[in-house]
Amino acid sequence: MSNGTLEVKAISGHRGGTPGKGVSRDYDVCKLVDTTTCIGCKACEVACLEWNGYEFRDTTFDNSHQTMPDTAWNFWNLIRFDERPSDDGTLQWLMRKDQCMHCADPGCLLACPADGAIVQYTNGIVDFNQEHCIGCQYCTTGCPFSIPKFNAETKKVYKCTLCSDRVGAGLEPACIKSCPTGCLHFGSKEDMLFEANKRVSQLQKNTQWTKAGVYDPAGVGGTHVIYVLGDASNPEAYGGLPANPTVPFFVKMWKGPLKWLGGIAMGLGIASIVGHYVRYGPKGVESAGDQGRAK
């Protein structure tokens, strides 16, 4: 996954320090989506389907550029379209490439009960292993972006892999490769943040996007897909991008205190009855009528 795995750590018969050790940065990967240069061509949607081998879907028409209402188990990448008036009365067409955000603190992984069904790689990719998925869909309750989608036929949940298969082979994700405007970038998180911030200051200085900003929400520990938004004060305008996404409160409570308190309570309960049995023993016996009752 990360180049770090092939970095030389030790060399046999070698005197002194190991050349190359620790010089490479430990890349975590990141997609940068610049919404201000997206033209809504949907090449990324097509590339995603082609690479992952899914069928093209019929589009729906709702008098806008929105081709279908939502992502699906076999449609992981959707351009979300919003048409809204700007302050000067002109229309804005807001396009956002929606897909899994690959959170640093993934709610899906926290909620999942199945051993090995969801993995997070050190390079930041959060991936689903369908062979271990049990179809409970707890992941959908944990995700603040409503990304994992259930296939009722296979009883498994699917989502964008950030092309972990391509990235593992040193390639960029399929969507990135297909983008004709250069609105999509791929690299280390550090580099993408640098590029994003550069673009934001450019927008603020040279365009009407004075409220431009980078979307890298802290509530989920940052994401490995980041956006440059023309108006970062209103992410909801970009196809319902949540302003402050967090793992839902009750998922945290359930997987945190409730799990521990429940476990402790069950353990103490069993310990208590064993203790009680040893201390007081059984109450009477089948034939112990003589013990009876006093009253």
Partner 1 sequence: MSSNIVVRHGTDLREDEIVRYTLKERMCHWVAGFSYLYLLATGLALFTPYLYWIAYVLGGGATIRFWHPWVGLIFLFGVLWMHQMWKDDMKTTKEDLAWRETIKAYVTNNDENVAPAGHFNSGQKTFYWVMFYGTLGLLVTGIFMWFPEWLSQGSGRSLHWVMSLMVFLHCVSALFTIGAFIIHIYMGIFFVSGGLHGILFGRVSTTWVKAHHPLWADKVVKEDRSRVSSSSFK
- Determine which residue in the list 1, 46, 134, 171 makes contact with partner 1, applying CB under 8 A: 134
Q: Confirm or reject binding of residue 219 to partner 1 (CB under 8 A).
A: no
- Determine which residue in the list 68, 114, 119, 214 makes contact with partner 1, applying CB under 8 A: 114
**Piece of the chain touching partner 1 by CB under 8 A; list 50-58, 118-126, 203-211, 265-273:** 265-273
Q: Tell me the closest approach of the beta carbon of residue 86 to partner 1, in angstroms.
A: 25
- Interatomic CA distance for residues 190 and 105, integer angstroms: 17
Handedness of CA 38, 39, 43, 49 (dihedral sign): positive
| Residue with smaller CB distance to partner 1, 143 or 203 | 143
Q: Which residue do the tokens 């409570």 mark?
A: 253
37 near 183, Cβ under 8 Å? yes
φ, ψ at 109 (rounded to 5°): -65, -40
| Residue with smaller CB distance to partner 1, 168 or 242 | 242
What string marks each residue from 53 to 72 as x (binds partner 1 by CB under 8 A) or -? -----------------x--
Structure tokens at 156: 């498994």
Compute how many residues bind partner 1; rule: CB under 8 A: 57
Q: Tell me the closest approach of the beta carbon of residue 249 to partner 1, in angstroms.
A: 7
| Residue with smaller CB distance to partner 1, 15 or 295 | 295
40 near 79, Cβ under 8 Å? yes
Q: Confirm or reject binding of residue 278 to partner 1 (CB under 8 A).
A: no
Q: Tell me the closest approach of the beta carbon of residue 291 to partner 1, in angstroms.
A: 6
Q: Confirm or reject binding of residue 266 to partner 1 (CB under 8 A).
A: yes
| Residue with smaller CB distance to partner 1, 80 or 199 | 80
Q: Confirm or reject binding of residue 254 to partner 1 (CB under 8 A).
A: yes
Q: Pairing between strand 213-215 and 156-158?
A: unpaired
Q: Which residue do the tokens 């899914």 mark?
A: 54
Q: Tell me the closest approach of the beta carbon of residue 285 to partner 1, in angstroms.
A: 4
- The neighbour count for residue 267, using CB atoms within 10 Å, is 10
Q: Confirm or reject binding of residue 142 to partner 1 (CB under 8 A).
A: yes
Beta-carbon contacts of 48 under 8 Å, excluding residues fewer than 6 positions away, are: 75, 76, 77, 99, 160, 174, 175
83-114 burial: b if 16+ Cβ within 10 Å, else e: eeeeeeeeeeebbbbbbbbbbbebbbbbbbee
Burial classification of residue 33, based on how many CB atoms lie within 10 Å of its CB (0-12 exposed, 13-18 middle, 19 or more buried): buried
Amino acid (one-letter) located at 84 = R
Q: Confirm or reject binding of residue 135 to partner 1 (CB under 8 A).
A: yes
Q: Confirm or reject binding of residue 209 to partner 1 (CB under 8 A).
A: no
Q: Tell me the closest approach of the beta carbon of residue 254 to partner 1, in angstroms.
A: 4
DSSP state string for 85-123: E-TTS-EEEEEEEE----BSS-HHHHH--STTSEEE-TT
The binding site for partner 1 (CB under 8 A) comprises 70, 111, 113-115, 117, 132-138, 140-142, 144, 146, 149-150, 152, 155, 240, 242, 248-251, 253-254, 258-259, 262-263, 265-266, 269-270, 273, 276-277, 280-295
